[in-house]
Amino acid sequence: MVRSSLKSVVGTLTALAILLPALAADARVDGASVYSKAQTYSGALRYLRVDLGYEVVEKDPDAAYLIFKYTAPGGSKNSAVTGTLEVIESTGGVRLFVNLPRMPEYYERVFRDGLMKKLKDEYGAPPPVAKKPVEKAPAEKKPDAPPDDGSS
């Protein structure tokens, strides 16, 4: 009897260990974009509507966010989840955040990577980052020679 309950507990723990990574509910994947906020936002909108054929439920170009219906590959329209994509300017450039609730984080990463590929395909290689000129230390000034008073 102890043996059967031990097997049951071990079986339950094994099933939980397998399922828990897939149950990451509100994971959020981010990425850095080397393109401008406007380019990243408009590229994301085209990626959703044209490339993937998803329904965009709400959009705000000023705030640079999109809410859309995401259907997993091979899934039915009834299994669609509401996803979000945000584009935010930060000191280091542009960040984008993808959130697909009730989906494993893997789906968010694939979505983000597909968008980043589209941006590179559409806009080309990212513009080179302008380097700030290195300031040289001022050369040490030689002391002025005493004026020649002609008494030598």
pLDDT for the residue 146: 64
Residue recorded with tokens 């994947």: 29
Report the CATH number of the 33-122 domain.
3.30.310.80
The CA-based dihedral angle spanning residues 115, 116, 118, 119, taken in that order and rounded to the nearest 10 degrees: 120
What residue ranges do the domains of the chain occupy? 33-122
In this prediction the pTM is 0.64
User: Using one digit for the tens of pLDDT, what is the confidence trace for 11-40?
Assistant: 443 433 344 444 444 558 989 998 999 999
Residue range 124-138: average pLDDT? 68
User: Using one digit for the tens of pLDDT, what is the confidence trace for 42-75?
Assistant: 999 999 999 999 999 999 999 999 999 988 777 7
**Does residue 71 contact residue 80 with C-beta atoms inside 8 Å?**
yes
CA distance linking residue 10 with residue 8, whole number of Å: 5
Of 131, 89, 76, 98, the C-alpha closest to 28 is: 98
The sheet carrying 29-33 orders its strands as 29-33, 93-99, 81-90, 65-70, 56-60
Residue recorded with tokens 């974009």: 33
